[in-house]
Structure formats: C-alpha cells, structure tokens
Amino acid sequence: NAGVTQTPKFQVLKTGQSMTLQCAQDMNHEYMSWYRQDPGMGLRLIHYSVGAGITDQGEVPNGYNVSRSTTEDFPLRLLSAAPSQTSVYFCASSRLGRTEDGYTFGSGTRLTVV
Amino acid sequence: ELKVEQNPLFLSMQEGKNYTIYCNYSTTSDRLYWYRQDPGKSLESLFVLLSNGAVKQEGRLMASLDTKARLSTLHITAAVHDLSATYFCAAHNNNDMRFGAGTRLTVKP
C-alpha cells in the first residue's frame, strides 16, 4: 500500500517555465488537495477536489491549475513559474465526511524557481 | 475566514518536563487536527478531534478540544528527546483545512 506518491521530489525551474507536479493515491480516497509550505507560515491550501471531475480553489490558488480525471490522480500545474512559487508542495488525501482518519500526506516536492 | 493561531512558535524544553501548546481558531470548525513534522519530512497525523470535550492520548501526548472557546491544546508529559519536531494544528471546515504556523519543539537532555 503506497499511500500518497508525489513526483518529482526536487525540481528547479526558470522563471516563466511550466511544469506539472504529480500526485497519486491508492487508498480510494475521495478527497485530494495540494498545499504549499513556506517557512514560518504553516501549510496553505492551493486547490482541492472532492471527486473525479470536481475541483475548487483554496486559500492561494493564483498561478496554479488542477484537474481530477480519475479518483487516483490529482496533478498540479504551474503555468508560468515565478520566484514567489519557490516552496515545498505537499499533496494530501482523505476520505470525505467527519472521519477520525487524518489526512495522508505525500513526501513533498521541493520546488525552486530561479 | 477561518484563521488558526498557535503558540508558542518555538519551545525549548528540558527532558522530563511538561508543557502545553495552544491552538486557537477564529470561526466554526467541524474538526481539529494535530500533525507532527520532522525536519525535511512530510506530515504525520497525530490526532483528529471531532467534538467538544474530545480528549485523545497517545504516549506522552494528549490533545483536547473546546469548541466553545475555539481552543485546542496539545499537552506534552515528561518530554523526551524523540518528541523534538514541529507540531501543527489545523482546523477544518467545509473541505478547507487551515494550518497554524507550527510550534518547533526542541527537547534538551
């Protein structure tokens, strides 16, 4: 049981480049989400999805796109990278509803935009 | 808008001592989470608190929730070095989970 798998683990981009961060889960979780973690600010929600074909914006969605074509996958796209997007990105999944299960987080992607 | 404040942000403890981390949130939340993060690692779920008065314990850590005061606490009993990490609380409402800034705990011998 792999849980939540994120790729790549590290990435360096030049300003203006685009890329996709991959996230896959094998727990049949309905809910998937993307967070960014910056020093001293905790984690901030970028986008989330409650099921295939359904996505919504979180706290800091600008500059990012998502789609959810399957239950398992939830890729995050940076359309035109900016230095302000340098961060550690975490994907997380969970069952829907008031469950006592916590969110399961991936191992993270450390992105540097130069 | 749901906002979460944690304090203290930094905590240096002696082994064997007790301490409490506080987590306040600004609006209605349907559940409260506590997570642990080791340096360079992902987040590990510690506790999920669903209702007023909920108390959960695991080893030297105990979490509680007071929904009327919009306050959760994480109490550390007889700290040991292995508890050194950053601890986050997160309040959840309507598919939106907001995190506190984290408490960096260092336990010294």
Predicted confidence (pLDDT) at residue A98 exceeds the cutoff of 70:
no
Dihedral sign from CA coordinates of A9, A103, B47, B74: positive
Whether the per-residue pLDDT at A45 is higher than 80: the answer is yes
pLDDT in tens, A11-44: 999 999 999 999 999 999 999 999 999 987 789 9
Q: What is the pLDDT of residues B49-105, one digit of tens each?
A: 998 889 999 999 999 999 999 999 999 999 999 999 999 999 998 888 999 999 999
For residue A93 the two structure tokens come to 């999944």
- Angstroms from B96 CA to nearest CA on chain A: 7
pLDDT at B86: 96
With 90 as the cut, is the pLDDT of residue A96 above it? no
Residues 6+ apart with CB under 8 A from B21: B6, B7, B8, B11, B73, B74, B75, B76, B87, B89, B103, B105
Look at A90 and B43 and tell me if their CB atoms are within 8 Å: yes
pLDDT, residue A1, reads 62
- pLDDT for position A42: 85
Which residues in chain B have their CB less than 8 angstroms from residue A104's CB? 45
B22-42 pLDDT, tens digit per residue, is 999 999 888 999 999 999 999
pLDDT of residue A19: 96
Better-scored residue on pLDDT, A89 or B53: A89
A31: nearest CB among B30, B31, B95: B95
B89 bridge partner residues: B34
Among the partner residues A41, A58, A101, nearest to B101 by beta-carbon distance: A41
Residue B68: what pLDDT?
94
- Rounded CA gap, A16 and A100, in Å? 41
What is the identity of the amino acid at B72?
Answer: S
Long-range contacts of A94-99 (CB under 8 A, 24+ apart): A94/A29, A94/A31, A95/A29, A95/A30, A95/A31, A96/A30, A96/A31, A96/A50, A98/B30, A98/B31, A98/B50, A99/B48
Q: Do B91 and B4 form a contact (C-beta atoms < 8 A)?
A: yes
Query: For all residues of chain A together, what is the average pLDDT?
Result: 94
- Region A66-87: mean pLDDT is 97
Best mutation target among B43, B48, B58, B72 (most A Cβ atoms within 10 Å) is B43
Separation between Cα atoms, residue A6 and residue A24, nearest integer Å:
7
The answer to whether B98 contacts A33, with C-beta atoms less than 8 Å apart, is: no
Q: Which token pair is A72? A: 């398992």
Instruction: For residue range A100-112, list pLDDT tens digits in order.
Output: 788 999 999 999 9
